[in-house]
Structure 1
Amino acid sequence: MAEKSISLEEDRAHYEIPSESQYHDTDVFGREEGHDIHYKTLSWQLVAVLMIAEIVSNGMLSLPSSLAVVGLVPGIILIVFLGTFALFTSWILIQFKLRHPEVHNMGDAGMIVFGPIGREVLSFGTIVFAVFATGGQILAGQISLAALSDNKLCLMLYTGIFTIPTLFCALPRTLDQLSLLSIFSVISIIVAGIVGMVGAGTQFNVSNYDITKSSDFTTAFFSITNPVFAYAGHFMFFILISEMKHPTHAMRAAWVLQTFATGFYVIFAAVLYVYVGPEVKSPAFSSLPIKWQKAAYGIAIPNFLIAGSLYSHTAAKLLFVRFFRNSRHLHSHTFIGWGVWVVLILIMTAAAFVLAVGVPIFNYLIGIAASLFASWYTYGIAGFFWLYDTWVYKGKMPAWKERWPMTSLSVATIIIGAFICVAGLYTTIKEIVAAYDSGEVSEPFSC
C-alpha cells in the first residue's frame, strides 16, 4: 500500500472527516457557483433510489434458482448474511470517501492506496464491469421483449431495439436527471416482483421444496454467486456520493438500500422457490405461465432499461472526469465537453451490445467479470481501505493492534473477497467448458 510521509499530527488531523465546507473545497467538483452544470445536487433520498435502481434488478431473478440448489434455509441465511456484509463494507467505503473528498471513483481510491498501478487496475475493472453489466441488462430487456411478442423476431433484433433507449437514457450529464427516471425503475421492479409472486402463488400449489440440500462444490458455489452478484453495486458508490449535496448523509442511503434489498430478495426468492419448486428457472419470471410471465417482464422493462443506462453512464463518467478534471469542459456547455461525453456513451453502450450478441458465452463472461471485480468492489477491497487509513493516519501497527476487532474484520473481508473471486472464476470456467461440451454455446450474432 502506498504511504505518505507526513507528520503524525497531520496524519491524525487528516484521519478525521472534514467539515462539509472543507469537503466541498477539496472534492472532485469543487465549488460550483457560477458554473453551467452543477453535479452536486443529489439528496440522500435520491441516492437511495439510484442505488436500489442499479442493484435491485435482473440479479434478483436468479435468486430462486439458487435456493433450489442449496435449499430454502441455507439460501435465506446466505442472502441475509451477504446483505449485512454489504452494509458493513458500504460503511467503510463511505468513511473512506468522506476522508478523501478528491476520490471520484474506484480508480482514484486505487491511486491513494496502491499507487498508479492500482489506479489503472481499478479504473479498468470499473469500466469493464459496468459495460458487462450494461450488456446483462440489455439481455434482460431482450428476454422481456421476446416473451411479450412470443419470440416473433430474431433475438438479435430485440437486443438492438432495447439498446437504443438504453443509450438515450444514459445521455444526461448529471445523475440527478437519471435519478428521476430511477424512481420509475424502482417502482417497476417492486411491482414486477409482486406480480411474479402473485402469479406463482395463484398458479402453483406449494411444491416439494427442500429445507436444506446437498450438492457438489461447483454447482453449489456457482449458484451461491447469484446472491453475491445481486449486491454488486458498490463500484458506483464513490461516483454517486460525489454528486451529493450533503455527502455525510450517504450512509442513510446505504441503510435504505441494504435493508430494502435484503428483505425484498428474501421474500421474492422464498416465495418463487416454495411455489414453483426445484424446477424454478433463472430468470425466475420465465417459470411462470405465459400470461403472468408477460405481465412480470413487461412491468420490469423500465428497471432493466434504467439500470443499464446507469451502468453505461458510470463507465463514461469515470473517463470523462479523468479527461476533464479541473477543466472548463467539466462544468460548461462546451462543444468539446458534450462531444466527448456523447462519444463515450456511444462507445460504452455499443460495446455492451456487441458483447451481448457477438460473444456466444456472454452470460458466462458476466460471471467471470463479476468474479474478478464485484467480489472485490462489494466486499474485499473495503478491508484494504480501512487498513490503509488506520495505518497511515492513526499510527501504523500499534493502531492496528489497538483496533484489533476492526483489523480482524478488515482482514476477513479481504480473505472473503479473494475466496469469492477465485472460487467464482473456477466454477464459471468449469460451466463454460461444460457448455461447450454439451453444444449449448450458440453462434456469434445469431438468433
Structure 2
Amino acid sequence: MSPADIKDVENGPGPIVEEDGATWENEHDLKVPSVEKDPFGSEAVGEVHYKTLEWWQSGVLMIAETVSLGVLSLPATVAAIGLIPAVILIVGLGIVATYSGYVIGQFRARYPFIHSMADAGDVLMGPLGRHFIEAAQLIFFMFASGSHLVTFTVMMNTITDHGTCSVVFGVVGLALSFVFSLPRTMKNVSWFAMTCFVSIFSAVMITMIGVGIERPSHAPMQLTRPTTFVKGFSAVTNIAFAYCGHPAFFGFIAEMKHPKDFPKSLCMLQGFEIILYTVASAVIYRYAGQDVKSPALGSAGPVVRKVAYGVAIPTIVIAGVVLGHVAIKNVYVRIFRGTDIMHTRSARSIGAWIGLAAAYWVIAWIIAESIPVFSDLVSLISALFASWFSFGLPGIFWLYLYRGQYFTTWRRTLLTLTNVGLFLIGATICVCGLWVSGLAIHDDTGGGSFSCANNA
C-alpha cells in the first residue's frame, strides 16, 4: 500500500489539503506502518462482518464503556475538595477530553488502517512504539475491567448483606463477564450496551432521589474545602478516570459503517457525560454530605441502596464487557489480521476467541482481588493509563500530524500551544497521580488481597 493509495482513499486524487491550507504530499507525511490499510480487509464476502455500527450505536457503546463506573466515584471527589473546585474540574476536564477525542478521530482519518492505540504507536515510533503501547493498552483494559469486578463484589455484598465470601462473588462476576464477551462483533455487544445505558442512568437517578428524600446528612455542603495535596490530587485522578474511554475509540471507529460520523458519537458521549457527572455528583454530595461513599450508590439508605445496585447490575457487568471486548478484539486482530480466519466461524477462529476471552477475564479477576478497594484501583488506573490515553497521547498525535507547520498561522500557533498543554496535562496526572495513589494503597485498611471480608 503506497502513500498515494491512502490519499486516494481519504481525499480522492491529489494531495491532502486541510482547511487552513496545510498539505501532505510525501512519504514522510503519510508513513505506512507494518499493518494493512484496513484492519478487517474486504467484507464483500465472509460469514462475520465487523463494520456494522451506526454512529448512534457507537455513541451508546462509548457511553456504556465510559460513564458506568466514572460517575460512581465523583460524589466522593466533591466531598474531598468542595463543590466549586470539583465542578470546575469536571466540566473543564470534560471539555479537554472532548477535544482530545476529536484529535483521535482526526488521526484515524489520516491513517485509516489504525484499529487500536498500538497501531497509532506504530505510526509514531515504528515497531517499538507498537509493542510498548500495545502492552500498556492491554494492561489498562485489564485494570479497568478489574474495577468492574470489584464493583460487582461490592454490589453483591450490598444486595445479599455479605451472603458469602467476596472472592466467590468475584468468581461469579468473572463468569458472567466471560459469557457476555463471547460475541465477536461490536454490533452484537451494542445491544447489551443499550441496557447498560438505561441501567446506569436509572441507578444514578434512584440514588439521587433516595438521598434527597432520606437526607443522610444535614450539614451544609462546602463550596470549597481545605485538603492535603494527596487527597486533592486523588480527586483529580478520579475525575480523569471518569473520562478514560479514549483507548477504545480507534476500535469503535474501525467498526463504524461511516467513520466520518465519529464526531457525532463523540458529542453524544461527552454531552451526556458532562451533564450527568456534574448534576449527579453535586446532588448526591448535597444530601449525602462528607460521608458520601465510593461507589456513590452506597450513599443511600439500606433499601434504596439495594434497589440502586440491583438496577445497576447490567451496567456493572456489561460496561466491563465492552472494555474487555475491545481488549480481546485488539489481540485477536493482532494475531489474525489479513487472514481468512477473521471472517469465518471455524473451530479455530471461535476457539481462539474463547481462549483469549477466558485468559483476559482470569487476569482481570486477579487484579480485582489484589486491589479490592474501588477508589484506590480507580486512582491507580487513572494515573498509569488514563493520563496518557485520554490526554497525553492525543496531544502527541496532533503534534505528529502537523510537524513542521506549528507556527504557520495564528490559528496553528494556538492549536500547537493547546496540544503541548494537552501533553503536559497527561504527564502531570501520571507523575503526581502515581505518587498519591501509591500512598493511598499503602495506607488503606479497607481489606486485604483475596479476602472474604465485606467490601461494601
1:406 to 398, 409, 415: 415
**Structure 1 position 138, deviation (Å):** 1.1
In structure 2, do the counterparts of structure 1 residues 193 and 431 end up closer, same or farther at CA, with 3 Å as the change threshold? same
Contact (CA 8 Å) 1:390, 1:400: kept in 2 or not? Answer: no
Identity of aligned residues (%): 35
Contact (CA 8 Å) 1:387, 1:400: kept in 2 or not? Answer: no
Q: Given the alignment of the two structures, is residue 422 of structure 1 paired with residue 434 of structure 2, yes or no?
A: no
Partner in structure 2 of residue 348 of structure 1 = 360
Q: Given the alignment of the two structures, is residue 371 of structure 1 paired with residue 383 of structure 2, yes or no?
A: yes
**Structure 1 position 105, deviation (Å):** 0.1
Deviates more, 1:256-265 or 1:423-432: 423-432
Partner in structure 1 of residue 448 of structure 2 = 442
Distance 1:299 1:361 in 2: 22
> Structure 2 matches for 1:23-422, cutoff 5 A?
26-204=37-215, 207-359=219-371, 364-391=376-403, 395-396=404-405, 399=408, 403-422=412-431
Contact (CA 8 Å) 2:120, 2:130: kept in 1 or not? Answer: yes
**Structure 1 position 401, deviation (Å):** 7.7
Distance 1:250 1:91 in 2: 8
Contact (CA 8 Å) 1:128, 1:369: kept in 2 or not? Answer: no
Please, what is the CA RMSD of the aligned residues? 2.4
Structure 1 length as normaliser, TM-score?
Answer: 0.91
What SS class does the counterpart of residue 384 from structure 1 fall into?
helix
**Structure 1 position 362, deviation (Å):** 8.0
Alignment gaps of 5+ in structure 1: 1-7, 19-24
Contact (CA 8 Å) 2:388, 2:426: kept in 1 or not? Answer: yes
Distance 2:129 2:378 in 1: 22
Distance 2:429 2:406 in 1: 28
Distance 1:397 1:42 in 2: 35
**Structure 1 position 114, deviation (Å):** 1.8
Contact (CA 8 Å) 1:379, 1:413: kept in 2 or not? Answer: yes
**Structure 1 position 226, deviation (Å):** 1.0
What SS class does the counterpart of residue 118 from structure 2 fall into?
helix
Distance 1:316 1:80 in 2: 32
**Structure 1 position 358, deviation (Å):** 4.2
**Structure 1 position 444, deviation (Å):** 3.0
Contact (CA 8 Å) 2:211, 2:287: kept in 1 or not? Answer: yes
In structure 2, do the counterparts of structure 1 residues 227 and 397 end up closer, same or farther at CA, with 3 Å as the change threshold? closer
Distance 1:14 1:93 in 2: 22
Partner in structure 2 of residue 431 of structure 1 = 440
Distance 2:310 2:358 in 1: 26
Deviates more, 1:65-74 or 1:178-187: 65-74
- CA-to-partner distance for each residue in 1:384-436, whole Å, 9 max, x for gaps? 10111111xxx45665887101111110000110000001001011112223x
Structure with the higher helix share, 1 or 2: 1
Distance 1:255 1:347 in 2: 34
What SS class does the counterpart of residue 128 from structure 2 fall into?
helix
Distance 1:271 1:319 in 2: 41
Partner in structure 2 of residue 3 of structure 1 = none
- CA-to-partner distance for each residue in 1:366-391, whole Å, 9 max, x for gaps? 53233111111111111110111111
**Structure 1 position 30, deviation (Å):** 2.8
Alignment gaps of 5+ in structure 2: 1-13, 17-22, 31-35
Contact (CA 8 Å) 2:299, 2:305: kept in 1 or not? Answer: yes
Contact (CA 8 Å) 1:401, 1:407: kept in 2 or not? Answer: no
In structure 2, do the counterparts of structure 1 residues 280 and 104 end up closer, same or farther at CA, with 3 Å as the change threshold? same
**Structure 1 position 31, deviation (Å):** 2.5
Amino acid at match of 1:270: A
**Structure 1 position 279, deviation (Å):** 1.2
Amino acid at match of 2:348: I
**Structure 1 position 60, deviation (Å):** 1.1
Distance 1:363 1:340 in 2: 34
Contact (CA 8 Å) 1:357, 1:444: kept in 2 or not? Answer: yes
- CA-to-partner distance for each residue in 1:159-199, whole Å, 9 max, x for gaps? 11122111111111000000001000000000001000000
Partner in structure 1 of residue 24 of structure 2 = 12
- CA-to-partner distance for each residue in 1:318-361, whole Å, 9 max, x for gaps? 11101111000111112221111110000001111122124567
Structure 2 length as normaliser, TM-score?
Answer: 0.89
What SS class does the counterpart of residue 277 from structure 1 fall into?
helix
What SS class does the counterpart of residue 103 from structure 1 fall into?
coil
Contact (CA 8 Å) 1:107, 1:123: kept in 2 or not? Answer: yes
Deviates more, 1:257-266 or 1:359-368: 359-368
Amino acid at match of 1:239: G
Distance 1:145 1:253 in 2: 33
Distance 2:265 2:91 in 1: 18
Distance 1:134 1:154 in 2: 20
Distance 1:133 1:180 in 2: 21
Distance 2:346 2:375 in 1: 39
